[in-house]
């Protein structure tokens, strides 16, 4: 079957081939996925960008046109495309896959695109430079480590915002990641680094192509967070 019309089972088999890869190998996998990524995302009902951008739009005050956005783990630019429809105009993207960044560049939305392996390379962003830092779909076990959250905070301006989504766990490693992330978010609040604006559930944001599920359990859920960086 050609790549242009892959079924859910085809995409599931393809994604299973990426299990147990180290970070560098996973980025090479994403390079290979780039040509069919957006079509495959539609096939498996990947709706995380839509859900989180809607959440962000409901909770972010003020006009969007002058907001400087850092789109972390930007992939092919799906988030930038959705945000541009809401009036956002200023984007810088970061991703670990050159193939995905090439797709994002084709959108014409990003003023700058930077290659960096999150958790291995330092986030290539000037401290305190962005009104809004967004990361959707990458905070999960085996992908982007919890330690990167402080780098997201650092990139935001005082009074700026950080919007994140996390995959809710269906595994022991996922549960450990969830607990670690909750501890880090709470610790950062206690340190006075930021304050929570809103939290939301991300229901059925993607088919669970990583496991064989019963019909009523075939989707993944997640959690969304919006924080505001302290001014002082």
Q: Is residue 34, in this structure, part of any structural domain at all?
A: no
Lowest mean pLDDT: which of 32-46, 94-108, 204-218?
Answer: 204-218
| Residue with more model confidence, 168 or 170 | 168
pLDDT at 216: 47
Lowest mean pLDDT: which of 13-27, 56-70, 75-89, 90-104?
Answer: 13-27
pLDDT at 217: 54
CB 75 within 8 A of CB 37: yes
Q: H or E stretch including 203?
A: strand 194-207
Q: Is residue 26, in this structure, part of any structural domain at all?
A: no
Enumerate the H helices of 5-141 as residue ranges.
Answer: 8-16, 23-33, 37-43, 48-59, 78-84, 98-106
Lowest mean pLDDT: which of 76-85, 106-115, 133-142?
Answer: 133-142
Two structure tokens written together for 125: 């962003």
pLDDT at 152: 98
Residue 14 phi/psi, 5-degree rounding, is -65, -45
pLDDT at 18: 84
Q: Cβ of 10: how many Cβ atoms within 10 Å?
A: 16
Q: Is residue 32, in this structure, part of any structural domain at all?
A: no
Q: Is residue 113, in this structure, part of any structural domain at all?
A: yes
Two structure tokens written together for 159: 């009074």
Range of the domain at 210: 46-229
Two structure tokens written together for 27: 């980025």
Q: What's the half-sphere exposure (Cβ side, CA atoms, 13 Å) at 63? A: 4
What total number of domains does the chain contain?
A: 1
pLDDT tens-digit readout, 191-218: 999 999 999 999 999 998 877 554 445 8
- CATH number, domain of 114, equals 3.40.50.150
> What sign does the CA torsion over 95, 202, 187, 126 have?
positive
SS3 137: strand
Q: Is residue 136, in this structure, part of any structural domain at all?
A: yes
């Amino acid at each position: 079957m050609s790549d242009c019309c892959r079924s859910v089972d085809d995409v599931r088999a393809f994604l299973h081939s990426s299990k147990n890869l180290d970070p560098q190998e996973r980025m090479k996998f994403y390079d290979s996925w780039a040509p069919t990524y957006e079509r495959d995302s539609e096939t498996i009902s990947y709706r995380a960008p839509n859900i989180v951008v809607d959440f962000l739009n409901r909770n972010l005050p003020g006009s969007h046109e002058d907001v400087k956005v850092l789109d972390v783990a930007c992939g092919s630019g799906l988030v930038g495309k959705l945000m541009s429809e809401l009036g956002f105009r200023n984007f810088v993207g970061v991703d670990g896959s050159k193939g995905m960044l090439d797709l994002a560049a084709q959108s014409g939305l990003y003023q700058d695109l930077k290659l960096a392996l999150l958790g291995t390379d330092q986030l290539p962003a000037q401290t305190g430079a962005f009104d809004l830092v967004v990361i959707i779909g990458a905070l999960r076990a085996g992908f982007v480590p919890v330690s990167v959250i402080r780098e997201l905070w650092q990139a935001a301006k005082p009074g700026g915002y950080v919007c994140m989504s996390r995959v809710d766990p269906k595994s022991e490693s996922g549960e450990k990641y969830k607990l670690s992330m909750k501890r880090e978010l709470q610790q950062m609040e206690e340190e006075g680094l930021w304050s929570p604006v809103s939290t939301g559930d991300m229901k059925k944001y993607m088919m669970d192509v990583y496991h064989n599920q019963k019909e009523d359990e075939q989707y993944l859920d997640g959690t969304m967070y919006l924080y505001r960086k302290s001014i002082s």
